[in-house]
Structure 1
Amino acid sequence: MENHGEDDDRVTTTLEVRRDAVGETRLVTEPHDPTHLEPGDVRLRIDRFAITANNITYAVFGDMLGYWDFFPTGDAEFGRVPAMGWATVIESRSPDISMGRRFYGWFPMASHVVFTPTATADGFRDDGAHRRQHAPVYRAYVATDADSMYPAVDADSSIDDAEDRHALLRGLFITGYLAEEFFADGGGTGEPYFGAARVVVLSASSKTAIGFAQRAAIRPGIEVVGVTSASNVEMVEALGFYDSVVTYDQIDTIATDGGAVSIDMAGNPAALSAVHARFGDDLAYSMTVGRSHHDAPPVESAQMAGPAPQLFFAPTEVSRRIEEWGRAEYGRRCAHALAEFVSGSSTWMQVEHRLGAEQTQAAWADVHDGVVSPDVGLIANVGGR
């Protein structure tokens, strides 16, 4: 069997994805000198990261939204998809980043990574030349000892499980949280949910959708309708966040009185078109967030009734909320909401580990192929630890 460098800090093993056929991957192993870094750089060992449908979305939108540029390969055929997780500094030539510190943020699906950091109040920012055009939230790495969202544990839980759940849910929940806050103030208009009586959530079993629904469920006067596949109805109903759950072929049974807004996590044009056909001009707003149905053709909004779907880009909303609420208040609100959501996830989500390069590669294939149950979250570690 080929040695892909498990448990070896002298090599970096990376999972790369074919840019025009994101179900195809390869493992690349590169030796490095563990005693040498460029002045100012740090090398981190990547401890764990999540692989979810959102990572597939990052690959699908890699060119449009610049995800391939996070960790460039110089190869037009294969790229490196960012994943959220935790990593430990094992080498440092930065005067501000000490050995042994751990950070949360965006990493390649790899065993190690090198950054050119600029210290910040709560960690560092990657200031490599290729990263400077990216939104600040994508370049920020938060130290565990300065992280307002770092998980707290009690006697009945472990820090490993808490970190796993954060890696799986933190980024997805914040997207769902911000999307729900967007609807709650009508995109800045001050009219909750744009005056609609209900929100229709497509791909209601996705983790981002569950985070959105958990927040929407506590809003007064808004009905939360989940749309999912027949096999996931029981699981979605059991969450308790949706007022009603229908299958994709039952969209035409959703009540229309009072109108609706919709949020699409799936990127399935047939389902989204059905929602638009059901409500027409009574659809007050149509938001698209992801493309978990990555093999579906893009939505042709000109052919749909009602408003044109609007892509929700979380970093833009982060900036708007920080400006509106202030950075400290933004952090406080997110930390409180996230802690509640992650704690509750133990009732509906099982964590499954994929350790080693080949298992990480298999995890990507399983998520891409849609064979991972929605109540399972995959945590990977290329180094096999």
Structure 2
Amino acid sequence: MTQLIELNVHRNNIRDSKIVQSPLPSLNQDEVLVAIDKFGLTANNVSYAISGGSLGYWDYYPGEGDWGNVPVWGCANVIASNNDDIVVGERLWGFFPMASHTVLTPGRISAEQFTDQTDYRQALPRLYNTYRRTQAEPAIVQQYENERCLLVPLFTTSYVIYDYLLFNDLFGAEQVVIGSVSSKTGFGLAKMLHDDPQVNAKIVGITSTANQAFVDSLDCCDEVVLYGDEHQIDNTLATAYIDMSGNIGLTTTLHQHIGENIVDSAMVGASHWEAGGKAPQLPGAKPTFFFAPTHIGKRDAEWGAGATMKKGMEHSIKLTIELNKLMNIEWIQGADNLQKIWLELLDNQVAANRGLMVALHNNHG
């Protein structure tokens, strides 16, 4: 009998994980059982684990006690249904657990999507409770399924940050500095800003020596600066700093170097999560955490419900098609290998051009 396989991560020590196997769950009225055949794994998932308690990411697929399931973006097939509107064989894309299967309760059903109505998830942002019915989507979207799992969620976040900066007229910044620009959300943001003819600000990316050639190949920055060389950044310009690294030491260095010319400082990611911590009192704009659903809600109030995500998806697909050849998709087969690659990801040992796709119960490649 097929079993449910999942990787549980300890909420208080994300290096600690365990593989859990259990019988497939039975279904209640209106529920569907899906088999998750693929999902992407990126530094973004580390961010979900790091901020899981404060931002609720552990609450989407809670485990027992101190154990939880880190959410991922992936594709799944409906293999059993007690819902009259969702049939076996449906193909879905959305926010799943690091697991082989899960149960959803579809509601707010349209031809293109539905929202999971599981009781405990109703207080969580609808953005992460929405599942796309991909067979109703254009062929071009279906064609890039792997890239969609890896890049589209991150590039959509890139778009939301990009729009946040435009909405605020870049806070008057003459340059935008992006920490950990080799991260997918980082170079997605850099590319959107760099390629926008209406953005006159200088785009500066900070990265490691190992990722410098990759960042250069993207042609997304006016200047690339290596970690340790932050003093080379022009501190006479009004600067918006977008922190994808979660490195408080780097944030402190930049604030002290650029001083009061930092006009906005947004913390987004955690690619260097172990260098995190609480920022001291710093010159310039106070570092604040950027939570994408907050800005999406503000824009949707202006544009209409769902409009921000639609725009983000359009930008993301365009950028995905443009950049997908630079990504080397690598398949991680089985829970044991997932457990190993999770540690590599935590240790920042996954090169920027590696696109990790995970399959727990099917063969891919």
Structure 1 residue 259 corresponds to structure 2 residue 259: no
Contact 2:36 2:101 in 1 (8 A): yes
CA offset digits 1:126-173 (Å, max 9, x no partner):
11111011011011111003347x7447xxxxx3xx211110011111
Contact 1:237 1:244 in 2 (8 A): no
Secondary structure at the counterpart of residue 351 of structure 1? strand
Q: Give the one of 302, 317, 323 matched to 1:339.
A: 317
Post-superposition shift, 1:72? 1.3
Aligned to 1:204: 181
Q: Report the Cα distance in structure 1 between the residues aligned to 2:208 and 2:278, rounded to whole angstroms.
A: 19
TM-score, normalised on structure 2? 0.94
Post-superposition shift, 1:333? 2.4
Aligned-residue CA RMSD (Å): 1.6
**Aligned residue type for 2:203:** V
Aligned to 1:377: 355
CA offset digits 1:243-286 (Å, max 9, x no partner):
00011211111112331110000011111111111211111100
Post-superposition shift, 1:68? 0.9
- Superposed counterparts of 1:321-360, under 5 Å: 321-327=299-305, 329-360=307-338
Q: Any stretches of 5+ residues in structure 2 without a counterpart?
A: none
Aligned to 1:193: 170
Aligned to 1:19: 11
Which stretch of the first structure deviates more once superposed, 219-228 or 199-208? 219-228
Change (3 A) 1:215 1:279: same
Q: Report the Cα distance in structure 1 between the residues aligned to 2:211 and 2:276, rounded to whole angstroms.
A: 23
CA offset digits 1:196-243 (Å, max 9, x no partner):
110000001000001101111023311100001122112111210100
Post-superposition shift, 1:329? 4.5
- Superposed counterparts of 1:115-154, under 5 Å: 115-121=104-110, 122-147=112-137, 151-152=140-141
Aligned to 2:190: 213
TM-score, normalised on structure 1? 0.90
Post-superposition shift, 1:71? 0.8
Q: Any stretches of 5+ residues in structure 1 without a counterpart?
A: 1-7, 154-158, 187-191
- Superposed counterparts of 1:67-146, under 5 Å: 67-76=57-66, 78-121=67-110, 122-146=112-136
Post-superposition shift, 1:332? 4.5
Which stretch of the first structure deviates more once superposed, 345-354 or 321-330? 321-330
Q: Report the Cα distance in structure 1 between the residues aligned to 2:339 and 2:268, rounded to whole angstroms.
A: 25
Contact 1:267 1:299 in 2 (8 A): no
Q: Give the one of 38, 55, 74 matched to 2:45.
A: 55
Aligned to 1:365: 343
Secondary structure at the counterpart of residue 267 of structure 1? coil
Post-superposition shift, 1:185? 2.0
Aligned to 1:312: 290
Contact 1:104 1:144 in 2 (8 A): yes
Contact 1:357 1:384 in 2 (8 A): no
Q: Report the Cα distance in structure 2 between the residues aligned to 1:72 and 1:38, rounded to whole angstroms.
A: 19
Post-superposition shift, 1:40? 1.4
Contact 1:15 1:26 in 2 (8 A): yes
Post-superposition shift, 1:317? 1.7
Secondary structure at the counterpart of residue 285 of structure 1? strand
Contact 2:36 2:100 in 1 (8 A): yes
Aligned to 1:156: none
Post-superposition shift, 1:75? 1.7
Secondary structure at the counterpart of residue 24 of structure 1? strand
Secondary structure at the counterpart of residue 15 of structure 2? coil
Secondary structure at the counterpart of residue 39 of structure 2? strand
